[in-house]
Amino acid sequence: RRRLVVDTDPGVDDAVALLYLVDQPEVEIVAVGTVHGNVPSATGADNALRILEAAGLPHVPVAVGANLPLNQEELLTGQFIHGENGLSGHTGPAPQGRPVAESAAEQLVRLARQHPGELSVLALGPLTNIALALLLEPRLPELVGEVVWMGGAIDVPGNVTAHADANTWHDAEAAELVLAAGFALTVVPLDVTAHAWVGSDWLDALANHSGPRAQFAHQVLAQYVHVYSQLMGGARGERGCLLHDPVAAVILLEPSLARYEEHQVVVELAGTRTRGATLVDRRGFHTPADPADARKPVRVAVAADMPAVLTRIQHAL
Ligand code: BDR
Ligand code: CA
């Protein structure tokens, strides 16, 4: 079984991704780290403990990670869409455990050193913890087997600003550091996850299933579905929501469900309207004014077999 560290800001779709992962025979969740993003990182850690408790994995260590971006003083969260507590107001079972003493970045570095080349990292939030881990251990890209990150909006509009997706916008500097660091990195951007719309049929099947994972997911989806239906469903005349993070989890387990391109991805750090945009240079040539960037290309998912992906998630729940 592959050892998996999940770095996350739970967060409703993060919760669904964790619930999808807990019972997959190919991977063992060895640790969870939380990061600011949808909610403050301590709230996210409490949520992670509750999700793991509900899923029957109360022993998985949860480390609280960064509560601020690397270079933004203000903590910006996504509570209007994920609910004040990040789980649509649902709390689930009281967790037995507490977060561990080390930080999420320290935990990641320790595990990567213990299992060189073996660790899979699934990053479902801003990349602050991965960037901090990189500063603690510059060899991290060689020590970690692979990183899969849900983030970026390359050829599609963003979801926080016109150009930036939430996970890049919440910590643009961290995203830029990680994208340039040389990880074996797969990026699963909004270009793919904006197709992960689940509507009434999918949601009702979940609601009608009595299993603990289905019921927990059904509860935490409530406010998220409500807000998404108003924001996006209005145009489609439909109730539903986008399951961004679970798509990245499925792609980590079954890479053949997506199609990829290799690109150097850079993050716009300076733009007044475009800060947090993820940029790809498609020219195929460079000029003296704009010489080639030396960074290693990353693997960018550009399309996925979405009916199969959404069915995998539904069956796992
Ligand atoms: C990402 O932002 C968060 O709101 C979601 O949890 C997901 O990770 C989508 O842009
Ligand atoms: Ca997330």
Tell me what ipTM this predicted complex has. Answer: 0.98
For residue 234, what pLDDT band results from cuts at 50, 70 and 90? low
For residue 73, what pLDDT band results from cuts at 50, 70 and 90? confident
For residue 185, what pLDDT band results from cuts at 50, 70 and 90? very high
pLDDT score, position 32: 98
Q: Is 124 in the pocket of ligand 1 (CB under 6 A)?
A: yes
Q: What is the mean pLDDT of residues 262-275?
A: 96
Distance 11 CA to ligand 2 centre (A): 6
pLDDT score, position 233: 66
Q: Is 12 in the pocket of ligand 1 (CB under 6 A)?
A: no
pLDDT score, position 263: 96
Q: Is 191 in the pocket of ligand 1 (CB under 6 A)?
A: no
Q: Is 213 in the pocket of ligand 1 (CB under 6 A)?
A: no
Tokens matching residue 102: 């080390």
Q: Is the pTM of this model over 0.80?
A: yes
For residue 25, what pLDDT band results from cuts at 50, 70 and 90? very high
Contacts 24+ apart (CB under 8 A), 196-200: 196/242, 196/243, 196/244, 196/246, 196/247, 196/306, 196/309, 196/310, 197/232, 197/236, 197/240, 197/241, 197/242, 198/240, 198/241, 198/242, 198/243, 198/310, 199/238, 199/239, 199/240, 200/238, 200/239, 200/240
Q: What is the mean pLDDT of residues 142-154?
A: 98
Q: Which of 7, 244, 245, 263 is catalytic?
A: 244
* Ligand 1 binding pocket mutation candidate from 167, 168, 228, 232 (most atoms within 8 A of CB): 167
